[in-house]
Amino acid sequence: MLDKFNREINYARISITDACNLRCLYCMPNGYIAKHYNFLTVDEIKNIVTALSRLGVKRIRVTGGEPLIRKDIIEIIKTINQVEGIDDIGITTNGILLGEKIQDLIKYGLKRVNISLDTLKEDRFKKLTGGDLKKVLDGLNKSIELGLVVKVNMIPIKGINDEEIIDFINITKHLNIDVRFIELMPIGEATKFKGVTKDDILKYLDGANIVKIENNGGGPSEVYRLNGHVGRVGFITTMSHSFCSRCNRVRITSDGKLKTCLHNPDEYDLRPYIDDVDKLTEVLRAGIYNKYERHTLLEDKISKSSRDMVRTGG
C-alpha cells in the first residue's frame, strides 16, 4: 500500500526477541535483560504477516536481538513462508548459530541472510562482542555455499575498527556478496562513539574504478561495484545522506508494536487485535498510511526513538 507521502510500503522487519548471545560494545556491552516482555508467538507472527501481506507487503526480514536464539526459529520461518503473498524471507543475524541452523532455515523458506560483522580479527571480535569469530565465518561460508543471497553489515567506528575498511572491501574481490558499511546511528550506547560516513570511506577508494549500481531493488543502501570485484560494496547513509523519501519499510517489535520509523517515537500496539486478522489489518493500514515523512537525525544528531536498538529490531 501507499503511505500519505506516496511511498509504496512492501517490506517489513519483524523482531522476534530482544535477547542476544553477544555483548557488542556499541549496543549492549553489559547485557540486556528483557523486562518480562511477552515475545510474539508463532501464531501471532503468522497473523501479523497475513495482515501485512493483505496490505501489499511482499518481503519479510526476521530480526532481533539475535533471532537464531529462538528455539522455534525454524517454525517461524516455515510459518511465514506459508503465508500467501510473501515472496521473500530474510534474516539478520550475528552469525554465531548460523552454521548449525542454516540448512533447516533454507529448507523452510529462507532466501537471504544479513550477517552483522564489524571486524575480521579474532582478538578484536572477542573484545568487541564477547563471541567467537570462527563460528560467524563458518555460518557465512555455509550460507554462500548453499546459495543464499548474503550481505555482510559492517559498522565502522573511528578508533575501533576503521582501519579494517579496506579489508572488508577486499572481501568482494572473490566472493559474490554485498559488504555494506552502515553509518553508526546515535541511539543508546552508540552515542558514546564516533562513526565513519560514506564520504569518508569513498576516500579509501580514490582512484579506483568504481561504478554506482542504479537499480538496487528499492533498498536503503547505495551500491557500487569495483572493477575486477565479483561482489559489491554498499553504504547505508542514515547520518550523512537521508534516504527517507524512498523508505519502503515498517518494523514490528518483539512485543507486538508497529514502528513506522526507526528514529521517531511512534508505536501502534497490535496486541489488542492480534487474534483478529481483519482488525489487525485495519490498524496496520492506519499506521502505515500515517508513516513519518522523515527522521531528524541530521538536524538533532540523536534518535527520537523511545527504545534502544535491541528493543526495536535491526
263 by Cβ neighbours in 10 Å (0-12 / 13-18 / 19+) ranks as buried
Dist. CA 150–CA 277, nearest whole Å: 33
Binding-site sequence positions: 13, 20, 24, 26-27, 61, 65, 92, 116, 151, 185, 244, 247, 249-251, 261
Binding-site sequence positions for GTP: 13, 61, 92, 151, 249-251
Dist. CA 6–CA 4, nearest whole Å: 5
Dist. CA 283–CA 134, nearest whole Å: 44
Q: How many residues can be counted in the chain? A: 314
Binding-site sequence positions for [4Fe-4S] cluster: 20, 24, 27, 244, 247, 261
R_g over Cα of the chain: 19
The three cell numbers of residue 60 are: 519479510
- Of 209, 205, 87, the C-alpha closest to 149 is 87
Binding-site sequence positions for S-adenosyl-L-methionine: 26, 65, 116, 185
